Structure 1
């Protein structure tokens, strides 16, 4: 159980007349944390990947450590835990994690359930196909195709529902599980954020091709408890500083500099807290 969750349970158990919330200085916030549990993806190369040693590495992990340092929490006091797309709201709302950095696109539906700092980067939805696939050069080329997406994601829905493309949906537990079916010809394409796809392409450069035809903006937000407005605002200050001091550009170049993507190194426009 995280420190935040433990404090929330203590507040819930206390008599209402005791005024414990006020005595503890108001709502629990990550700004008061000595340790942090942070949810990241375990299977997205370049973003959040669990190594053979059990460590996590990638752009999301490095951004999370930068934000944690700004909050006054040292790297050794940060615990990373794996989350899937489908788990992100649940682990935040239950207090199992304090923050989520997991290619977590900000949407109105998700904002009704949890809070968001950032975005810390704006990616773009694109398409990954087999290297020998010549019939897909843009989103319209997905008509009649089978698309794979990770459970809990909305990427394929944006193609099928928002773009009106007549494609068939195939779901796997996570996006990493879509790569083998794609290579084997069981599905025709994987469509999600270009940073995610670039990581998989780097691992299978001979077998896969990035169409490089972006068609949405994906605001990567920092998932946080909906009531933690102070924490959200501090996260935004950290992200601003990360871009101003050159760290964001350095991290983007480290993880995606060889992908050919047009990387944006200016501060994203924040969605606002509360």
Structure 2
């Protein structure tokens, strides 16, 4: 009887030790390592990209740095794409994803989100003076990016308008290149991303029509990690309150930038 108890105890001990080794709250791991691993993109101009000096810069980069600073942590930037950002969170390869990700209820089933930290919407980018509105793009070919809400939105819109051929590319540079080469007549995604690519060739491209979607960006976070979520939310709200947020925003989207995008809403503030 005693032998069975010892064996049973050993099995339980192994199981518990296994859980401890591979699980544990993400917040505790962050506090132990003193490092915040942020998933950031590198082709989302001016959200996050490599400049002429090969430096990783952009609005999301500066936001991630400021959040880490306020949490007293070292920032580790991890490259993610539209296709990998959620998977990296689920696999524990990053602690947060600050990568122009629209907060959708469907996505909230597998990861958590911060409060909205950026407000965008979807538009069409075309050759300047070529198309007056969405109606002019009926029957044309439009580029978008695979695995994004933009892909779904533009397909839905053009189906209602009368139809168009939607070609989904692997990333933003490929979709913009298709527009440059004349393989498509428009490129559709979030307007600030379109502004970033249009600025590469000033005067050649323009945004057509109004917003046809609302894209509230949230910082993706691991599921059920309330301490981390609260810490990020408090940092965002404090940044808004003391003016740091708008300083970063104006650096990348202000009137004196090639990516001018007026701020229309404000961050949710808790008393």
Q: Give your verdict on TM over 0.5.
A: yes
Cα distance change on mapping 1:65 and 1:159 into 2, 3 Å: same
C-alpha root-mean-square deviation of aligned residues, in Å?
2.6
Q: Secondary structure at the match of 1:252?
A: helix
Answer with 1 or 2: which has the greater Rg: 2
* Equivalent residue, structure 2, for 1:146: 141
Deviation at 1:85, TM superposition (A): 0.5
Report the TM-score, using the length of structure 1 for normalisation: 0.82
* Equivalent residue, structure 1, for 2:36: 36
Report the TM-score, using the length of structure 2 for normalisation: 0.83
Is contact 2:38–2:96 with CA below 8 Å preserved after alignment?
yes
Cα distance change on mapping 1:67 and 1:148 into 2, 3 Å: same
Is contact 1:119–1:268 with CA below 8 Å preserved after alignment?
yes
**Does 2:261 align with 1:264?**
no
Deviation at 1:95, TM superposition (A): 1.1
Give the Cα separation in 1 of the matches to 2:27 and 2:132: 47
Gaps of 5+ in 2: 1-12
Gaps of 5+ in 1: 1-13
Deviation at 1:65, TM superposition (A): 1.0
Deviation at 1:265, TM superposition (A): 6.1
Is contact 2:64–2:75 with CA below 8 Å preserved after alignment?
no
**Does 2:91 align with 1:94?**
yes
Deviation at 1:53, TM superposition (A): 5.1
* Equivalent residue, structure 2, for 1:157: 152
Q: Secondary structure at the match of 2:119?
A: strand
Alignment of 1:180-259 (within 5 A): 180-211=177-208, 213-257=210-254, 258=257, 259=259
* Equivalent residue, structure 2, for 1:46: 46
Deviation at 1:83, TM superposition (A): 1.3
Give the Cα separation in 2 of the matches to 1:15 and 1:171: 48
